[in-house]
């Protein structure tokens, strides 16, 4: 592999250690000393090319891909933020994968203004581990199940399962409003875009990608702040911000959602104890990527979300 140069264009060939990785993670590991904000800027601007074509930050690399890297700016080492080691609440672990219960407010990886995330902290806490890679993503504000591959073969298989609908993923969301249907299929295409300030957003658009969510009503409440409903959401596709945008578009924003929610209501609810977005990745069911054994993983609601449901009082019912 060529050494990186800050003065000239560099070409990197993707080996086995990089195959299957997102290109942003691939570059962040190889451009040591380059500010994360700069890595994402050259990706957004199209200066990074894969096999001569533009590449978005979420592009997954394949063995043998040729990555063009433009001249980059090296930061002083003193400006780097040290990554503190951290282990997270463990739901499951074996030789092939780790499943943790990610807390809300923690990014899954560094980038876009975040110096480090779950994966960097776990790697720091396990210096003897030869391979640790995220199998998927959770929004920073979302809590719950997060899978990490411990072997390349397990990671590749998990990627296939996520891509082909082989993982039954279910979330719990508390939303504004009186949801009526016991079960509802929501099929609304989603389009990613950037705001004038450069922030990533998603909206329902016929120009977007297919997105399918299944909503199941678990309970309803009437409070001093209005009607609320608890939904179990099954994801048949895994688009960015899918649950949040589908529900907001339908008029049932998730409580505490600072991107797509009811901002006035969110401020009021903070005074009553809801300090975060009420969206939790509760369960996954899938065949083990190495053995084929059926796994059912569950991360229960955190204590703060349980307490908030208790504060709402008796359930109105679902009939």
Q: Are 178 and 227 in contact (CB under 8 A)?
A: yes
- pLDDT number for residue 2: 39
Please calculate the CA angle 102-107-113 and round it to the nearest 5 degrees: 170
Say if CB 279 and CB 244 are below 8 A apart: yes
Whether the predicted pLDDT of 92 surpasses 80: yes
Strands 49-50 and 53-54 turn out to be: antiparallel
Tens-digit pLDDT profile for residues 38-82: 888 889 888 999 999 998 888 999 988 999 999 886 655 445 678
Residues of the chain with CATH 3.30.2350.10: 90-312
> CATH top-level class for 10-73?
alpha beta
Per-residue pLDDT tens over the stretch 244-294: 999 999 999 999 999 999 999 999 999 999 999 999 999 999 999 999 999
User: In degrees rounded to 5, what are phi and psi of residue 59?
Assistant: -65, 130
The per-residue pLDDT for 200 is: 85
**Fold assignment, 90-312:** Pseudouridine synthase (3.30.2350)
- Residue 3 clears pLDDT 60, i.e. is over it: no
Q: Would you name the residues annotated as active-site residues? A: 139
- Mean pLDDT along residues 145-171: 95
Residues of the chain with CATH 3.10.290.10: 10-73
């Amino acid at each position: 592999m060529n050494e990186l140069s800050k003065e000239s264009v560099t070409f990197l060939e993707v080996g086995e250690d990089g195959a299957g990785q997102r290109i942003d993670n691939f570059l962040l590991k190889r451009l040591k000393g380059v500010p994360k904000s700069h890595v994402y800027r050259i990706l957004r601007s199209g200066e990074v090319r894969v096999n001569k074509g533009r590449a978005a930050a979420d592009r997954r690399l394949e063995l043998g891909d040729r990555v063009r890297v433009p001249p980059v700016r090296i930061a002083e080492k003193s400006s780097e933020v040290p990554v503190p080691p951290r282990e997270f609440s463990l739901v499951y672990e074996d030789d092939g994968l780790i499943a943790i219960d990610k807390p809300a407010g923690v990014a899954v990886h560094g980038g876009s203004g975040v110096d480090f995330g779950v994966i960097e902290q776990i790697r720091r806490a396990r210096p003897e581990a030869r391979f640790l890679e995220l199998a998927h993503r959770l929004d920073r504000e979302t809590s719950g199940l997060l899978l990490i591959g411990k072997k390349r073969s397990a990671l590749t298989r998990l990627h296939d399962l996520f891509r082909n609908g082989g993982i039954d993923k279910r979330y719990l969301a508390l939303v504004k409003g009186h949801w009526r249907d016991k079960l509802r299929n929501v099929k609304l295409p989603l389009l990613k875009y950037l705001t004038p300030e450069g922030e990533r957003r998603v909206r329902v658009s016929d120009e977007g990608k297919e997105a399918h969510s299944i909503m199941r009503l678990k309970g309803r409440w009437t409070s001093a702040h209005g009607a609320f409903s608890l939904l179990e959401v099954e994801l048949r596709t895994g688009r960015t911000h899918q649950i949040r945008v589908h529900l907001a578009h339908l008029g049932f924003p998730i409580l505490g959602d600072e991107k797509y929610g009811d901002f006035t209501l969110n401020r009021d609810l903070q005074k009553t104890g809801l300090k975060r977005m009420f969206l939790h990745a509760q369960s996954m069911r899938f065949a083990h990527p190495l053995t084929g054994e059926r796994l059912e993983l569950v991360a229960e609601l955190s204590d703060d979300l349980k307490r908030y449901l208790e504060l709402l009082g008796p359930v109105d019912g679902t009939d």
